[in-house]
Amino acid sequence: MSQFVDSDDTTPLLGDDACSDDSRDEDYRSRWRSIRVMYFTMFLSSVGFTIVITSLWPYLQKVDDTANASFLGWVVAAYSLGQMVASPIFGLWSNHRPRREPLVCSIFINLSANIYYAYAYLPPNNNKYHILISRAFVGFGAGNVAVVRSYVAGATSLKERTGAMANMSACQALGFILGPALQACLSFVGEDGVTVKVIDLQLNMYTTPALLAVAFGLINILLVVFLLREHRVDDHGKHLRAINYSPEDGEYLSEESEESIDQVAVLTSNILFFVVMFIFAVFETIATPLSMDMFAWTRKEAVLYNGIIICCIGFESILVFLVVKVASQRVGDRPVLLAGLAIIFCGFFILLPWGNHYPKIQWADIKNNSLVSHISAPTLLPNSSIEPTGCPIEQTWCQYTPAIHLAQFISSDVLIGIGYPACNVMSYTLYSKILGPKPQGVYMGWLTASGSGARTLGPVFVSQVYTILGPRWAFSLICGLMVGSVILLAALYHRLIAFSVRHGRTVE
């Protein structure tokens, strides 16, 4: 088993750069340089997910006319499924080998999958399956998020960790904002674009975003290879240096690792993180169909207005991350998490329909009822360019469920935009503190996998419940889930504490 010695006890943790201890000073700079490389890796992971998301459906239709909306759901889910499978694998790898190895490997898989995506039009048939497989491998490469989180957790003291995790979440949020923006900027290339005959590559508005993600991946690999260094510090920020490294015994195991981790707290943290990611996946999925049903927006209006709303929520999230850093220092991590869950509950409770105003029914203004019964919601009237708007007639709940007002919708967006980022960063900040000094790769892998599973199940749940039973049932069930989460957190509040606090080495 590897052993460690502490850095000089007399050296202040955040000593200034003019410190006489040149070795320790360089360790500090190298540590934060490496953490910033992890920030960039997290940013690119979210960009890789969103940079093609708005063009995914038209690209599918262009390369394979047999693809339908149901298949699109599988393509979107493939990313999360790939990440769910890969996260524990890369986490385990990072526990026993230098983290540079799983990071470079995962990024290489990611950029190779994006190249595959760009060439999905090339095979003579079954092109939609090539897109599906490529997105699954992009998600598999994004499993390195577990390595990123475990690295930052191990390279920061308890005092530094909440701020570092908040910064990492802000980078992730920024990636989600800039991904669609970069796609929009590349739309000027057009559907046809240009063809590079030498490599038989079409450069158009669908393939160039994936190729830009490839370029980002190459930059990321260079940063990991040349700037990333292995660093671990204890809860007080003192460097732990390996004297005898043994891959068989695992990397960075200290004497403290003989003490047990509270597995109940670990399971609770995973459940809470699952709920938080599940809720946001539901929110992202339901926003467009809900707004089209309730406000009679056209498809173009729904994409535009919801795009603006999501962008605003992204910027709101970045502000929340900054506030969370200060709030957690004043009141602690658990109260912030509890407040975040309560705010999310309020956000969905506001969406419950009430009043005597009902949504517009599609085709309700057409007198020919026999024609109505034979027209499906997504189609247009014969010889007409008018797009049907309002609540589809097949959704029977539209006839007796009150409409949700625009003010309710906007208020809910604002509240969820506050609660979600607070819960997100607090969930894995608390989790990393609960795990303590042990290598966290596998545990972070399970946390990432639980989040990926939530992003896979959330859209399936809400699409079924909302379509069949309507918003009243869908949002009532979500509110019930949030109440259950608050009760779970309250019941196990005393166990969600840092490893060193649990074993009496530090005081909260």
Tens digit of each residue's pLDDT, the chain (508 residues): 343 333 333 333 333 333 445 556 788 888 999 999 999 999 988 887 778 877 777 788 788 888 776 677 788 788 888 988 998 899 889 888 888 999 999 999 999 999 999 999 888 888 899 999 999 999 999 889 889 988 988 888 878 887 888 788 888 878 877 887 787 778 788 778 788 888 888 888 888 989 999 999 999 999 999 998 888 877 676 776 543 334 444 444 444 445 688 889 999 999 999 999 898 888 877 787 888 888 888 766 776 787 778 778 878 888 888 888 888 888 888 999 999 999 999 999 999 988 788 888 876 544 444 444 444 444 444 444 566 788 888 888 888 889 889 999 999 999 998 998 899 888 878 888 888 777 777 888 888 888 888 888 887 787 778 888 888 998 999 999 999 999 999 999 998 888 877 776 665 5
What's the rounded Cα separation, in Å, for the pair 217 and 233? 28
pTM for the whole structure: 0.72
Taking each continuous run of H as one helix and of E as one strand, the counts in the chain are: 16, 4
Q: What is the pLDDT of residue 440?
A: 73
Q: How many Cβ atoms from other residues are within 10 Å of residue 70's Cβ?
A: 7
**CA 304 to CA 302: how far, in whole Å?**
5
Which residue is listed with tokens 């290879």?
Answer: 225
Structure tokens at 65: 């006319």
CA-only gyration radius of the chain, Å: 25
Output the furthest CA–CA distance in the chain (Å, rounded).
87
3-state secondary structure 373-436: CCCCCCCCCCCCCCCCCCECCCCHHHHCCCCCCHHHHHHHHHHHHHHHHHHHHHHHHHHHHHHC
Give all domains of the chain, ordered by start, each with its CATH number: 1-255 (1.20.1250.20), 259-370+388-508 (1.20.1250.20)
